[in-house]
Structure 1
Amino acid sequence: MDKRLLSHLNWSLLACMTLLFFVGVGNLFSASAIRVEEGLSFSSFYQKQLIWGLCGLGCMIAAMCFDYRQIRNLAWPFWLVCVGLLLLVPVIGVTAMGANRWISLGFMNLQPSEPTKLAVLALTARILAQHNRSLGWKDFFKVLMVGLIPCALILEQPDLGTGTLVLLIMGGMILFHGLRGYVLKTCLLAVPCVAALMWFVVMHDYQRQRILTFLDPGSDPRGAGYHILQSLIAIGSGQMWGKGFTEGTAGKLRFLPERHSDFAVAVFGEEWGFVGCVALVTLFSLFLLSIFSTAMQAKDRFGSLLVVGVFFYFFSQIVINMGMVIGLMPVVGIPLPFISYGGSATVVNFTLLGIVLNVSMRRFMFKG
């Protein structure tokens, strides 16, 4: 890699990413503690996250070391491989907690839906970059199939959260590129029909129950509403300044479920309070702003669309997860980037940021 490229590196994005990752590791260290008679007993989640972070760092460096325009040629093969892996999940997949989402590789479990996000992002960017004008019906449906096919396979696992995220990434990129007026108006009018189809045909009973629980979590406080209510109790008990690092009780006394993944930020809120949560939201805002500024500075349309896809990837997860833990959105199983535990997700996060840094470094090397 040309050393001159490092002078154009987006150092603010790199700093935000590093801070978020180590805040997440520290939070997992606290979340992994269980109170026993002898004191606190710690599990190995934070250690595993550090290992996954090192793997992700390697993938990020690899993603920075080649001209990102080569991704255009790899988009179709990568998308086909990911769809093939999704087709294999029902056949040889590993079932856990009632969902069949992983393929066992012996030394680890691979979740194909994670690299699928990257594949949809890359292929959508390639197709949209070929069109200088707003999309008409033909081109719109072509792009739509890129996301709908893997989304349908992901919903079968079932994984409503990841399937929704794939559509949000693709939808954000399409809106950024632009739609013809009549296409946009028709899509807006079709929203109620799509919502009805999702409710009566696509969604499972427990997923519909999550929506109803979101509207009234107190209706089933020991069942479907338990997650949201315990999350609200944990965050509220942190008050202004929090209880202090490793001093939270909701997780350590096992009241708070999924404290390592979906509700990791509830542990953070209990221990660092309102001030800590504001600081975390500010850090995420700077992180997103840095990504978006890279998209605006990119010298070709393909690079700009790639980075916009990464922006919507992170933006959607941050908004949905934080809205979920404070009861503003239904529980859909979407983790918070860098804060929640997850091996495949961590590697994908670092890889996507490697692509953003790649675009940033090369913004003065050629004209698009």
Structure 2
Amino acid sequence: MRGIMIVDKRTLRNLDFLFILFTFLLLAASLFILSTASISVDKANPLHYVKVQTYWIISGIFIAVVLAAIDYQKWQRFRWWIYGLNLALLFAVILFGHSAKGATRWIPITSSFSIQPSEFAKIFIIITFADFLAHRKGKLDNFRDFILPFLFVLVPMLLIFKQPDLGTTLVFAAIFIGMMFVAGANPWKFGGLLLGGVCIIGIALWLHFATNLPGWLHWAQGLPLPMQDYQLKRLTIFVNPAADKSGDGFHILQSLWAIGSGELWGKGYRMGTQGQLNFLPEHHTDFIFSVVGEEFGFVGTITLLFLFLIFILRSISIALKARDPFGMLIATGVISMFTFHILVNVGMTSGIMPVTGIPLPLISYGGSAMWSNMASVGLLLSVNLRRQRLMF
């Protein structure tokens, strides 16, 4: 066991205490914000979600400590076992998962406890893809070199997309892009490929929704896509949410009203109307940032974003100081995941991005998400602790 968990005084000197401090500040912010955001969700037990989130945080800290104590390089031995476990869990969702709100994403463990494998899939893919790319660093110059890395990530992505869980699918894409660039993918060729892909998706969406195309394009009108119309509408309604005020645009409009009404200082702790009166949907999970804006105003949202900024900057510092490509790529995957989560969640609650159901990391209520986030923190700390080789 000592060969796996080596943490002595020399190793602990590498610990980034500022990163740890801001992690704990974000966790404390989660409990504080939930104490107002969830009070109206279960009026019979107003602090229920705060208590449960506390359990998730405490157990998550334990997970982070264990992963930090384990030398991250040891995971390379088990890369294919981890990749196989990842696929097995995602297949298990299809076979044994239960549905909620139109999606099958959870595997029931007990009558009152379920896990969401797609959350842990992000950690598994970061570890295994980091090893996959570490052996190809400097060998990603041509288009054909991108094929195997893409297929490596595509398989679990498709299983998650089938659930359907578009938000996590997009997180996988962000992880893939970030890690590929750091692994040395030719920026012009890889960037051009990504730009081309975005253009193709944009054209496909335009053709799907188009109604009055000229004769020579009439054949492409209503182009079929691998998504239901209601799913596509949810992705595009942010452009004009007022077009469906009582339907898919309702979430966005309520969020905008909540954030806008907070003005500079906010309405005050537990004084919001959109959240406390339950006009704002999912205000303890996906739309928790809207509660911050309503009750604590611009000052509150900027303070929270400042905490995230320092957290990400310290994470980047850890990546830059990693002792090997594998450690740097693990840190890059975690940074890509956290950054994408933050940008998309804040963007969707602010009405400038589609509503994809991506929670605010370390803040939103949720067990699997909190465990996944804290596991990511543990991996970063493991890389940080071992940024210099021990001398014996």
Residues 204-247 of structure 1 show CA distances to partners (whole Å, capped at 9, x for unaligned) of 22221113311100001111100000001111111101112222
Is 1:332 the counterpart of 2:356? The answer is yes
Unaligned runs of 5+ in 2: 1-6, 209-223
Q: Map 1:273-292 to 2 at 5 A.
A: 273-292=297-316
Contact preservation (8 Å) 2:235, 2:356: no
Residue 237 of structure 1 is aligned with which of 252, 255, 261?
A: 261
Residues 37-61 of structure 1 show CA distances to partners (whole Å, capped at 9, x for unaligned) of xx99615111111101111111101
Residue type of the partner of 1:253? L
Please tell me whether Structure 1 or Structure 2 has the larger radius of gyration of its CA atoms: 2
Contact preservation (8 Å) 2:137, 2:184: no
Q: Provide the residue aligned with 2:195 in structure 1.
A: 188
Q: Provide the residue aligned with 2:106 in structure 1.
A: 102
SS of 1:201 mapped into structure 2: coil
Contact preservation (8 Å) 1:33, 1:40: no
Q: For residues 182 and 233 of structure 1, what CA distance do their matches in structure 2 show?
A: 43
Contact preservation (8 Å) 2:143, 2:189: no
Residue 342 of structure 1 is aligned with which of 366, 382, 389?
A: 366
Residue type of the partner of 1:177? A
Q: For residues 354 and 254 of structure 2, what CA distance do their matches in structure 1 show?
A: 14
Q: For residues 334 and 153 of structure 1, what CA distance do their matches in structure 2 show?
A: 17
Q: For residues 380 and 200 of structure 2, what CA distance do their matches in structure 1 show?
A: 36
**TM-score for the superposition, normalised by structure 1:** 0.94
Unaligned runs of 5+ in 1: none
Q: For residues 187 and 248 of structure 1, what CA distance do their matches in structure 2 show?
A: 42
Q: For residues 174 and 160 of structure 2, what CA distance do their matches in structure 1 show?
A: 14
Superposed displacement of residue 170, structure 1: 1.1
Q: For residues 74 and 143 of structure 2, what CA distance do their matches in structure 1 show?
A: 28
Is 1:130 the counterpart of 2:154? The answer is no
Pick closer, same or farther for the CA change 1:35–1:286 going to 2, 3 Å. closer
Deviates more, 1:26-35 or 1:169-178: 26-35
Is 1:117 the counterpart of 2:141? The answer is no
Pick closer, same or farther for the CA change 1:212–1:363 going to 2, 3 Å. closer
Contact preservation (8 Å) 2:119, 2:372: yes
Q: For residues 195 and 35 of structure 1, what CA distance do their matches in structure 2 show?
A: 38
Is 1:77 the counterpart of 2:101? The answer is no
Residues 146-187 of structure 1 show CA distances to partners (whole Å, capped at 9, x for unaligned) of 211111111111110011111111111102222234454344
Is 1:311 the counterpart of 2:315? The answer is no
Deviates more, 1:301-310 or 1:169-178: 169-178
Pick closer, same or farther for the CA change 1:126–1:264 going to 2, 3 Å. same
Pick closer, same or farther for the CA change 1:35–1:170 going to 2, 3 Å. closer
Indicate the RMSD between aligned Cα atoms, in angstroms: 1.9
Q: Provide the residue aligned with 1:27 in structure 2.
A: 33
Q: Provide the residue aligned with 2:213 in structure 1.
A: none
Superposed displacement of residue 197, structure 1: 5.8
Q: Provide the residue aligned with 1:226 in structure 2.
A: 250
**TM-score for the superposition, normalised by structure 2:** 0.89
Residue type of the partner of 2:123? L
SS of 2:104 mapped into structure 1: strand
Identity fraction in percent:
38
Residue type of the partner of 1:189? G
Contact preservation (8 Å) 1:120, 1:170: no
Q: Provide the residue aligned with 1:363 in structure 2.
A: 387
Residue type of the partner of 2:266? G
Q: Size of the alignment, in residue pairs?
A: 365
Q: Provide the residue aligned with 1:146 in structure 2.
A: 152
